[in-house]
Amino acid sequence: MRTPKFWMLSFMLLALLFSCKKDTDDNGINDNNNQPEEKYKPWTQNEIDLIMSGEAHEPMRILLVDDLEDSLFLRTPTIDIKPDATDPVLRRLAERMLVTMNESGGVGIAGPQVGIGRSVFWFKRFDLPEKPFQFIIDPNIVFASERQIKFPWDGCLSMPGYGGSSTRHSSIFVEYYILEGGKEKNIFEGYSSTNFTSVCFQHEYDHLQGILFTDRVDE
């Protein structure tokens, strides 16, 4: 025996299904009229305020895992930023991150460590004769070897005083943008006491995913 309530509910369910179907159709039609979504999200006012609050030579505050708010931010994946050498905010961020890293004696620093959730980092090119620092934008690890290595000297500016032996890929094939313009591709491999570019890259890249080196350290 079907009660009036049953028929009422059935009707509502059908109406709901129909409206969902209609929404999909409408969206399908609307998509043709929409502009393509901008690939890069512009700086937020908070980001601009933080980055431009100091001159190029002034360091930024390094976020620490000991602080609850800082640690939550360090665990948040970043988003890409448009690689644009004419962007004064991006240039200032790069300059201030370099000063921050140098003052702390680090060999790399990533956006989240200074409170900027963007896919940028500095890392040391031990593999080049001059061993320069390089600022890279929107990096991607295209390929990582299955073979892994133990890197005995990992550490992090956001965890002063801690060190450990991390597990890393033996080699990586990477691509990234540089501030001066253009995309670079590179292979970084292995490590020695004088060249751990590959591990340095992997450590900083992890920061962009919200991963900390202690996640790579076995007990």
Selected range binding Zn ion among 36-44, 52-60, 61-69, 155-163, rule: CB under 5 A: 155-163
What is the smallest separation between the CB atom of 171 and Zn ion, expressed in angstroms? Answer: 21
97 touching Zn ion, by CB under 5 A: no
Q: Is 182 left (phi over 0), alpha (psi -120 to 50) or beta?
A: left
Q: How many residues bind Zn ion (CB under 5 A)?
A: 1
Q: Is 149 or 156 the residue whose CB approaches Zn ion more closely?
A: 156
156 touching Zn ion, by CB under 5 A: yes
Q: Is 156 or 179 the residue whose CB approaches Zn ion more closely?
A: 156
Selected range binding Zn ion among 11-19, 79-87, 152-160, 171-179, rule: CB under 5 A: 152-160
107 touching Zn ion, by CB under 5 A: no
CA angle, 156 as apex, 152 and 159 as ends, to 5°? 115
HEC string of 90-158?
A: HHHHHHHHHHHHHHHCCCEEEHHHHCCCECEEEEECCCCCCCCEEEEEEEEEEEECCCEEEEEEEECCC
The yes-or-no answer on residue 175 being catalytic is no
Q: Is 163 or 181 the residue whose CB approaches Zn ion more closely?
A: 163
Looking at beta carbons, which residue is closest to Zn ion? 156
CA angle, 143 as apex, 142 and 149 as ends, to 5°? 135
Q: Which residue of the set 58, 130, 204, 219 is catalytic?
A: 204
Residues ≥6 apart with Cβ < 8 Å to 144: 169, 171, 172, 173
What is the smallest separation between the CB atom of 136 and Zn ion, expressed in angstroms? Answer: 15
Q: Which residues sit opposite 150 in a β-bridge?
A: 167
Catalytic positions are 204
Q: Which residues bind Zn ion (CB under 5 A)?
A: 156
